[in-house]
Amino acid sequence: MIGLAKGQQILDKIKIQSKMGLGTLYLLDTGIAVEVSGSGLCLELSYGEILYSNAAKKDSLVISWTEGVATYDMKFNIKNAAEVAQKINQYKK
């Protein structure tokens, strides 16, 4: 389980699979966090840092963000990818 900042809340937890292994995507009130089983926290982004989240396929979610001048994408295998992308985009507003 990830550590949360004071007052931070988990809105949803979703099981995922990525190149790094099985894990959990946490939708927080402030952003997202990805925890990989056996490795710990591997990604944490505020909603303002996320460029987009798209369902590439029914079971594939892509999240894109920038760091400096570089843009990064991370792909997750996830059930109901379109629903999860919609939730992330809703929370971004």
Q: Which of 42, 3, 2, 1 is nearest to 19 (CA)?
A: 42
Query: In the chain, what are the helix, strand and coil shares in percent, each to the nearest 5?
Result: 15, 60, 25
**Residue 2: its pLDDT value, please?**
79
The whole-angstrom separation of Cα 51 and Cα 66 is: 7
Which is more confident, 5 or 72? 72
- Percent with pLDDT over 90 in the chain: 74
| pLDDT at position 59 | 94
pLDDT digits (tens, 9 = 90+) for 7-23: 889 999 999 999 999 99
Q: How confident is the model at residue 82 (pLDDT cuts 50, 70, 90)?
A: very high
> Which domains occur in the chain, in start order?
10-92 (2.30.29.30)
